[in-house]
Structure 1
Amino acid sequence: MDQSINAIVRRNFIAKATYFARLLPGMHVDDIEAYTVVDCGLPSDTFNVIIPKTTKLTSLADLFENRVSEFSRKRFPLALWCWDELFNPELATLLHHYDLVRDETNVAMWLNLDARPIKPLKNSQLLIRSLQSPEEYDQFADVIAELFGDSPEADQIRQYYQLISRVHVPTQPMHFYLGVYEGKIVTTGTLFLDDESAGIYDIATRPDWRGHGFGSHMFDYLLGEAHRQSARQVVLQASTDGLGIYKRAGFVEVGTVQVFGTVAETLR
């Protein structure tokens, strides 16, 4: 697959990761040609994000010596997202030296929405609505936080969504959705719109409500929303377990994204 399409996935992810951090005091974005760094001001590896955009050793050395080391100094966890075409032996050496280990591998996926007819949603008792109030941000955060159990990250996620709710505007490119079944919030989804694509993120279902097709219904709804927003391309990152549903929807694999995280012992 053309690397230019893989880059569309990366650009949408960067735009999403940096959006709120550019608006809120206490958060910081360093977005240059060689890399993007997001410091959300909280000890959260969900929202402290680093994305290398070069293979040049001098730029990578600067990234680790001046940015990764700063997170280490503050004892803040982080996640470094590296697209496959940018991974090289020099980066591997730096990752090892700074005690960053592979946490997960995702598949970058892309859909030409012009070539895919949008099918009507199947009948479902799941009601989907967009977030409009700070209280609904708390409800969204609760679903995401449940994925992390009783870990400290769950608390940071709730705090992060409380912060970003303060700058909510109806016209923002980040659209959050709640799925409600029998009066209970059971699933979430996010659609991020930039100038060239719509990105699908954060499809999560509460553990007690899995197996009912709620996540699939949310996914279909977000595709419809992307179409209604006149997006022509849709991108996402999938785990290997979730590839099937996206391929059946017409998405194609365009690359691999490795995610590296901080070793817990280094944060003590």
Structure 2
Amino acid sequence: MNQSEQKQIMMNNLNAKIKARSAILKEAKIHETEDGFTYIDADLPSYNFNVVTLPETNRPLNPNTFKEIMAYYNSRKYPINVWCWSQQTDIITLFKEAELKDYGTDYLGMIAELRSFRPIVPDPDADCHFEKASSPEQLVTFGNILSSLYAGSNEEKQIQAYFEKAAQSCLLEDSRFQHVIGYYQGKPVSIGSIFFSDSVAGLYDIATLESERGKGLGTKLTSYLLNSAKGKGAAYCTLQASPGAENIYRKLGFDTIDRLKVFVNFE
């Protein structure tokens, strides 16, 4: 598989996940334009859930449509985010013309071929185990750990609000998702999710409570997620990693595709 194909399957999974996550909220609106844009109104003032996705790479980009989408969000006074590859300079120019701002943190698109993946068997650890969220209470716990990455901000409140609503929806019954919680000494301290589309498993929401970092829990969690994805028959696994975590994921079998940039409509 060449780099262009790798990029496309990653973005396809990311876009499908964004739509599926929003669809479980009754108040959310998923808008799809004739020229290939999708934009989500999650009915929450959160840039994690109000997301714009671009047309596939083989489709022309209509600047006027994008400007209309931005006008929609501005009228709602909603924060949003939109992703692109760092080499898509024409798209970055369009974002800047629409007065979007570079989020300031780039990510690495990474991929692992699971057909050749050999499960890593971690050292026995009676203090650590992982569970797939199977109850509304566990889904709320998942959201609380994820929201801790945004402690003290409005985003923390909105992520908690989303998962409180999701806990009362059909999200737990959606076989495309797995929401996994890592427990250390009986306490929920880490999370990660998988979204399955076609033969691809996308890893998302990998986080550990700040007080519990440095114990190797993130590596063990990611290995658990990879084993689960392979067990479900996925051929490839993708994720978006911070540059500082690249070596960790490489050791687990991931290769870097390219750098991703995030743009937002707020300071």
Correspondence for 1:112:
113
1:57 CA drift (Å):
7.0
Q: Gaps (5+ residues) in structure 2?
A: none
1:228 and 2:231 correspond: yes
1:262 and 2:265 correspond: yes
Tell me which moved more, 140-149 or 162-171.
Answer: 162-171
* Mapped contact 2:73–2:80 kept (Cα < 8 A): yes
Q: How much is the aligned-residue C-alpha RMSD, in angstroms?
A: 1.8
Correspondence for 2:199 among 183, 196, 202: 196
Correspondence for 1:20:
21
d(CA) in 2 for partners of 1:201, 1:58: 27
1:174 and 2:181 correspond: no
Correspondence for 2:44 among 23, 42, 45: 42
1:245 and 2:234 correspond: no
Paired residue type of 2:217: F
* Mapped contact 1:99–1:263 kept (Cα < 8 A): no
1:28 CA drift (Å):
1.5
Equivalent residues in 2 for 1:1-268 (5 A)? Answer: 1-32=2-33, 34-53=36-55, 59-64=62-67, 66-84=68-86, 87-89=88-90, 91-103=91-103, 104-124=105-125, 125-165=127-167, 166-264=169-267
1:183 CA drift (Å):
2.1
Q: Deviations over 1:45-100 (max 9, x none)?
A: 01111122267776132122x21111111110001111345x233x3343223321
d(CA) in 1 for partners of 2:255, 2:225: 17
1:171 CA drift (Å):
4.5
Tell me which moved more, 102-111 or 168-177.
Answer: 168-177
TM-score by length of 1: 0.91
1:150 CA drift (Å):
0.5
* Mapped contact 2:200–2:237 kept (Cα < 8 A): yes
Tell me which moved more, 115-124 or 253-262.
Answer: 115-124
Tell me which moved more, 1-10 or 220-229.
Answer: 1-10
TM-score by length of 2: 0.91
Paired residue type of 1:53: P
Specify whether residues 120 and 63 from structure 1 end up closer, same or farther in structure 2 by C-alpha distance, changes over 3 A only: same
Specify whether residues 2 and 57 from structure 1 end up closer, same or farther in structure 2 by C-alpha distance, changes over 3 A only: closer
Aligned length: 261
* Percent of residue pairs identical: 26
1:213 CA drift (Å):
0.7
Q: Gaps (5+ residues) in structure 1?
A: none
d(CA) in 2 for partners of 1:184, 1:98: 45
